[in-house]
Each structure stands twice: as C-alpha cells, then as structure tokens.
Amino acid sequence: MKLQLSPEDAAFREEMHAFFTTQIPQDIRETVAARRELSKEQIVRSMQAMNAAGIAVPNWPVEWGGKDWTPLQRHIWHEEMQLAGVVPPLAFNASMVGPVIAAFGSQEIKERFLPKTANLDIWWAQGFSEPDAGSDLASLRTTAVKEGDEYVVNGQKTWTTLGQHGDWIFTLVRTDPTVKKQAGISFLLIDMTSPGLTVRPIELIDGSHEVNEVFFDNVRVPVSNLVGEENKGWDYAKFLLGNERVGVAPVGSTKRTLAQAKEYARTAGPGGTSLLEDPLVAAEIAELENDLLALELTALRVVANSADGKPHPASSVLKLQGTVLQQAVTELWVDLAGPNALATGAGEGSDVPDLARTTTPNYLNYRKASIYGGSNEVQRQIIAGTILGLRG
Amino acid sequence: MDFTLDSEQTALRDAVRGLLGKAYDSSETRRQVTKTDPGWDEKTWQRLAEMGALGLPFAEEDGGFGAGPVEVAIVAEEIGRVIAPEPYVEAVVLAGGLVAAAGTAEQRAEILGALAEGTLVPAFAHTEPASRYSETPTVTATTSGGAWTLTGVKEPVLGGGRADLLIVSALVEGGTGLFLVQPDAAGLTRTSYSTFDGGRAARVALDATPATPLGAPGADQSAVIATAIAGAQIAYGHESLGAMAFALETTTEYLKSRKQFGVPLMTFQALTFRAADMYVSLELARSTVTWATLVQLDGDPADLHEAASRAKLQVSKAGRHIGQEAIQLHGGIGMTAEYSVGHYTSRLTAIDHALGDGRHHLTALSRTIDGHTIVDPLP
C-alpha cells in the first residue's frame, strides 16, 4: 500500500494541471466559473484545443489519436480538467460514438468519421431513447427497412441532448422485428440534414433548451452508414453504455463547485457577513467535503486497481453517489443564495449577484443527473444483482 | 498510489482470519465467552500473541515486530469480522501506542514486551463521566518529593477491570500528563461492569493513588495522546469495516434464502435496493478508512488527526446505516440475541461512541472548512 503517486504520475498530474489552466482559452474557463452555459462555439474551441495537444480522446486506440495511458492517468486527466473549469470533450463524440466506431466500424467508416469526430468537426447527437424506451432501451421501435442500398428510417427519438447543434446522429434502430427485442437492433449513423429528419426542442423545467425530440419520416440512409454488422447494435450499445459509466462520477467539477460555493458563502450572510459562521451551513459543507473525499478515493481505488482490465466492483458506486453529491451541491447553492435565488430573470442593473441568479436553474437542471446514463435505480439494480447476487 | 495488500500482508490476513474464525465459529460462541469475565478469551489472546499480532506496531528493540498501520489494520478488520471481544484496539493500539510514544526506553521494553507476549494487558483510563470527548482531564496529579499521586474518577474505562496496568491521563502543571498505575496500588478502586456490546468497562476511582509518570515526569503529553487516539480511531475504523462487511454478507444471504409469500425475500426490490445502498455505504467508508491508514503510513504527520476524523465520521454514518438496515432487512430474527446481526449492530454502536462519534468529528471538521479551498487526498 502506498499513498503517494509514483514520480511519473505526479509529473503527469503537474503536466495536466499546467495544460488545463493555461492552454484552454480564458473565456471558456470564465464562463464555467460563472456557472453560465457554454456556447456551441466555446465547446468546439475547447475540444479542439485539447485535440491539437493530442489529449481530446485518450480512451481511443492509439492509431486513431488515443493515448496509451493507465486508468489512473486517464482519471488524473479527467480530474485536472474539471478542477480547472474546463468542459470535458463532448461525450457523444469522445466517449460514445468514437469508441464504437473504432472498435466495430469498417476501415472506411473509421477513416471517414474518426478524425472529424475527435476534432469536433462533426457534432454528434445520440439517438437512443424513445418515448416508450427509456431505461428499458431494448424495447425501442424506430425502424430501418432495407431498400436496395439504403435503409428507410421511420420513428422518433427523444432526450437528444444538444441535438440542436448536431451534424450527425448515431442511432439504434430496429432492423429485425421478428426476433427477441435485443437481437433485432442495428447501429446506424444518420446525417441530420437528411430530408425527413426534424428536430424539435423540449423545454425543460429550468427554462433551458438542452434536449430535443428527433423525428424520422422516411429518412433514407445509405447502408454504408451501418456500423459493424446488422442486428448486432445491442452489443455495440452495451459497449458504449459501459464506457459511459467510466469516469461518470463528476468528482472534480463537484469539488470545484463546492469550493466556489464556500467562497460565495463568505459574504452571503446578512449585510455581507460570512455564512460559514453558521454552524449548520459549516456542518453541511464539511459533510459534503467528506462525502466527496470518500467518492474521490473510491474512484481512485477503482482506477488504481483495474489495470488487469476487469472493472472494480466498486465502480458501480461512482455513478450513483457521484450524482447524489453533484445534486446536493446544486441544492446547497440555492440555500446559500437565499431569497436572491428567485432573481433568475434579473438583467442589467440588478443588484443581485450573477452567481445567485443561476442557482435555481442549475438545481432544477441537475435533477437530470440521477436519471441519465442509467438512472440511479438502475444502478441499484446492478449493485444488488451483479455484486450482491440478489436476483429477483 | 496503491490500495492493495502485498503477499506478506495477505498471508497475515489469512492467518488471523483462520485463527479468529476458529475461535469464534459462531456468534453463539462469542456470546458464551462474553458472559463471563473478563468478557474475552485468554487462550485466544495468547494465540494472537504467539502469532505475533499483539506486537505488530512496536519497535523490535521494544519487543515488537516493527510492522506498521497496514498490518494493524489487517488484524483489526479480522477482529471486526467475527466481532472478537479481545481488546486489540484498546490494549495494543491505544494503550500500547501511548507507551510506545511516551515511555522511556525501560518502560517501553518492559510493558510492550509483555504486551506483545500476551502476559500484560494494559488499559487507557482517559474518559471521565463529564468529559465527553474532551482531551482535558479533571483527575489531578500531585508530586511530593519526587513521588506522584493521582486523585479523581475515570469512567467508563474500557477493559479497566481486568487491566494489568492502567495508563491514566491527569492534569499536571502546563498540560496533561500520563501515569502508570498498578492494579494493587493504594487508594485504587475498580468497579467493573458489562457494556451493551458484550464488553467490559469500569469505574476507576483514584484517591491519592501512587503513580509512575509515563516518560518524563510532569511533561505535557497532550500531543502524544492525540496521536495515539488518532491511530486507535483509524484502527477502530478497520474493526468497523470488518463488522459492516459481515453484517452486509449475512443480510444478503438471508435475503437469498429466506422465503415469504412463497418466494425468496430478494424478489422484493424494496429490500434489494436497500441492500445496494448498504454496499455503497460500506465501500465509501472503506475508501476513507484505507486512505487514513495510508496517511498514517507515509503521509505528513500534521495531516493525521484530520484524516482520522474524516475516517471516523464516514464510519459513523456507514455503521449506523448498515447496522440499522441489517436488523430491519432480517425482520424479527435480527432482534434476537441468538442471531448474529444484532450483535454486530451493537458493536458498531459501541465503536461509534468510543473516541468521538460522527457528530463530534463533523463538528471538528466544520471548524476547518475555512482553512482550505478543496480537500485533496494526495500529498
């Protein structure tokens, strides 16, 4: 047992810290620090800065721009990025469709998509969930019927995050309705400018436009856009969702947000006094810090001990507890803002601090965290079934 | 960074697990042992001594084996798995830790050598009826012509009735001193009683009782006491991890085997989700306790107390959660003295309230939040 990082890993951490705090454009980190939404253009510039340095897609195969990093190094990369207030590479590109194409796509499809995916020249949207297929994804109903060298796609996807920016969408579609539901699904890439494809925004409880519905009305897709084999899409999706859970505990960003909340609290009391003098506020912050420490250490245990390729059993704890704490900190922010939390619509000339105005939309927005990527109930099901062997 | 045991440590774990598994093959065996004084088994203690477990943390020149906190953690966790009533943390880690840190070379060799051999079981008499978790005693030490006497009451003193040697904290000029009190000392009255977890505690009354200073006469040993307590808090964390792991395993097995309404209990998601949450609590506590052990092993000594507080807080939360749910998920059988899990909940409760409960440590930590931006576990 040993506490210290190896000299190589410590140097790596320094290198990442230096990169993220100096090489990502200042305006992007400032927007994150102000807890404001990033524009599409900022997200693109951020990922391109990382890609130029060769560290946008470290989880990919080396020949496609990946890095031969250990799980611990990948964890350090991810943590230092979040601590520095840098938005991670677009997950749809870097963690989802990229690895699937790299693992299962033909050479032609890899060459066609991977470099542009790594550089965010293509903005990918995710077309998995449907109105009647949420956590039970395999029951999806969007169909793709082969006609000559094209698929004709009909149906509806939903919860398509940032789909309004999307150039392409990777979808799960039903190509064989006659077999067991998991066995008739294919993984199809669709150009979002195709005729018959429409995107409709879904307004969320915080007033934001973040997710969309995507409709497919006789959309014609070349069969060359199929990834891997027809009807093997469920396997690819499971591979993708497995990747989605890795690094899904947002430890670094939650730590940063909590530190920022603490700083805010210093002058948020009546007449500019410190709320940190309030024992209940202090205790809540201390407990959150301790819970975050336990989460971070669990993440470190998982990555430090998963060198043999098998995921550590404790990894399922990360998504569950990670989102619980992420949400708890957004809740703390609203409490610290107090009545100023109501001033969400205040504009120029308002005396309410900018940071207070965004607290409630953030709080409401992050209720999503325990729902997406396998809801926390799904995570409990996995822990109970896979780890504890409790199978109903 | 490495959170894994090496092969020697794994061998130690297996050996201790083998020994204790045999000594406490069922919770009924433990129940019988705890019924009669001193509440633990002298033979098992002797076997632990023969294995070398009792001398692990002490230097070789003091009669120990020069091992470290990881080895102590391994033994403590195995103690917790069977909730062995032997006073490993209390006598070896805490009382022994005080002697190792404060004792003269002569005192160390004499006391720690005998402790490692299993022939002397010391107890730390520190807590007082009105002290809560305060570090400052009201028992007073006075000196006259180089001879010291102590006056006041210590209670509850864990293992204080059976102890072959009491290490007593007392007020001296300029701080808190440590003193050795022999069991047959004049003016010493020990009244032993049972604690709810099957253990023993005592009221220790001192009335101008002759005592020998541990280490330099009259010296303030507050820092030594705080460090020994931090070590014991971390070791208690490991004892709790062993107990929580067993409680969860037992609960899981019960959900698989027990049938109601014609189906196994694990058919009911209301129950399995709660078991999943118990697992989450256990793993989070394991992470923090293991980290605190590594801080003790090779971190900055200045970070030790905070790390121990962090571990104790996490274990307090996890212990209450797992202990309560283990009984609830069993139903009525979990309430009975014949069945195991209730005793685990009992022991977890006892550990929680020794050396500062979760609320105490949360209060302490909440006073430090202004001193750092973030908590970084890496040195």
Contact B290 A301 (CB under 8 A): yes
Residue A88 pairs in a beta bridge with none
Q: Which of residues 346-375 of B touch A (CB under 8 A)?
A: 362-363, 365-370, 373-375
**Dihedral sign of CA atoms B274, B276, B277, B283 in order:** positive
Measure in Å the smallest separation between the Cα of A197 and chain B Cα atoms: 40
| Closest CB from B266, B280, B298 relative to A321 | B280
Give the residue ranges of DSSP H helices in chain A.
Answer: 7-22, 26-33, 40-52, 71-83, 91, 98-104, 107-118, 233-245, 251-265, 279-304, 315-337, 354-357, 359-365, 376-382
ipTM computed for the complex: 0.96
Give all domains of chain B, ordered by start, each with its CATH number.
7-120 (1.10.540.10), 124-213 (2.40.110.10), 222-371 (1.20.140.10)
Mean pLDDT for A57-76 is 94
Q: Which of residues 240-269 of B touch A (CB under 8 A)?
A: 248, 252, 255-256, 266-269
- Whether residue A243 lies within 8 A of chain B, CB to CB, comes out as no
User: For residue B86, what are its two tokens?
Assistant: 């032997």
Spatial contact of A269 and A277, defined as CB atoms under 8 Å apart = yes
Contact B378 A4 (CB under 8 A): yes
Q: Rounded to whole angstroms, how far apart are CA atoms A286 and B234?
A: 19
Crossing angle, helix B7-23 and helix B42-51, to 10 degrees?
A: 160
Helix (H) or strand (E) holding B306, with range, is helix B304-330
Closest by CA to A281, choosing from A333, A231, A237, A330, is: A333
pLDDT at A306: 62
Contact residues for A200 (Cβ-Cβ < 8 A; gap 6+): A212, A213, A214, A215
| Closest CB from B266, B273, B314 relative to A294 | B314
Helix (H) or strand (E) holding A206, with range, is none
Q: What is the DSSP string of A301-366?
A: HHHHT-TTSSPPTTHHHHHHHHHHHHHHHHHHHHHHHGGGGG-TT--TT--S-HHHHTHHHHHHHG
Spatial contact of A70 and B2, defined as CB atoms under 8 Å apart = no
pLDDT at A134: 84
- Supply the mean pLDDT for chain B: 97
Spatial contact of A258 and A214, defined as CB atoms under 8 Å apart = no
| The pLDDT of residue A111 is above 70 | yes
Residues of chain B with pLDDT under 50: none
Q: Rounded to whole angstroms, how far apart are CA atoms B238 and B9?
A: 15
| Closest CB from A3, A320, A377 relative to B294 | A3
| Closest CB from B1, B368, B369 relative to A300 | B1
Mean pLDDT for A314-318 is 81
Contact residues for B164 (Cβ-Cβ < 8 A; gap 6+): B119, B120, B121, B122, B183
Residue A304 pLDDT grade (very low, low, confident, very high; cuts 50, 70, 90): confident
Residue A248 pLDDT grade (very low, low, confident, very high; cuts 50, 70, 90): low
- Whether residue B72 lies within 8 A of chain A, CB to CB, comes out as no
**Residue A317 Cα to chain centre, angstroms:** 17
Query: Using one digit for the tens of pLDDT, what is the confidence trace for B48-101?
Result: 999 999 999 999 999 999 999 999 999 999 999 999 999 999 999 999 999 999
Residue A36 pLDDT grade (very low, low, confident, very high; cuts 50, 70, 90): confident
DSSP label of A77: H
Q: Rounded to whole angstroms, how far apart are CA atoms A52 and A238?
A: 30
Contact residues for B255 (Cβ-Cβ < 8 A; gap 6+): A390, B264, B265, B266, B271, B272, B275, B329
pLDDT at A244: 58
pLDDT at A311: 63
pLDDT at A33: 87
Which of B70, B280, B325 to mutate against chain A (most A CBs within 10 Å)? Answer: B280
Contact residues for A221 (Cβ-Cβ < 8 A; gap 6+): A144, A150, A151, A152, A153, A188, A189, A190, A191, A194
- Whether residue B276 lies within 8 A of chain A, CB to CB, comes out as yes
Measure in Å the smallest separation between the Cα of A264 and chain B Cα atoms: 12
Spatial contact of A210 and A162, defined as CB atoms under 8 Å apart = yes
Measure in Å the smallest separation between the Cα of A30 and chain B Cα atoms: 18
User: For residue A288, what are its two tokens?
Assistant: 């959150």
| The pLDDT of residue A245 is above 90 | no
Contact A317 B365 (CB under 8 A): no
Crossing angle, helix B269-298 and helix A315-337, to 10 degrees?
A: 90
Mean pLDDT for A62-76 is 93
Q: Rounded to whole angstroms, how far apart are CA atoms B19 and B27?
A: 15
Mean pLDDT for A18-46 is 93
Chain B residues touching A9 at Cβ < 8 A: 1
A19: left (phi over 0), alpha (psi -120 to 50) or beta: alpha
Measure in Å the smallest separation between the Cα of B1 and chain A Cα atoms: 5
Spatial contact of B150 and B205, defined as CB atoms under 8 Å apart = no
pLDDT at A302: 86
Give all domains of chain A, ordered by start, each with its CATH number.
7-89 (no CATH), 124-232 (2.40.110.10), 247-387 (1.20.140.10)
**Chain B residue with the nearest C-alpha to that of A5:** B1
| The pLDDT of residue A233 is above 60 | yes
**Chain A residue with the nearest C-alpha to that of B257:** A390
Contact residues for B172 (Cβ-Cβ < 8 A; gap 6+): B141, B218, B219, B220
Q: Rounded to whole angstroms, how far apart are CA atoms B155 and B203?
A: 5
Query: Using one digit for the tens of pLDDT, what is the confidence trace for A208-221?
Result: 999 999 999 999 99
| Closest CB from B255, B277, B375 relative to A289 | B375
Q: Rounded to whole angstroms, how far apart are CA atoms B47 and B44?
A: 5
- Whether residue B282 lies within 8 A of chain A, CB to CB, comes out as no
Query: Using one digit for the tens of pLDDT, what is the confidence trace for A141-160?
Result: 999 999 999 999 999 999 99
- Supply the mean pLDDT for chain A: 93
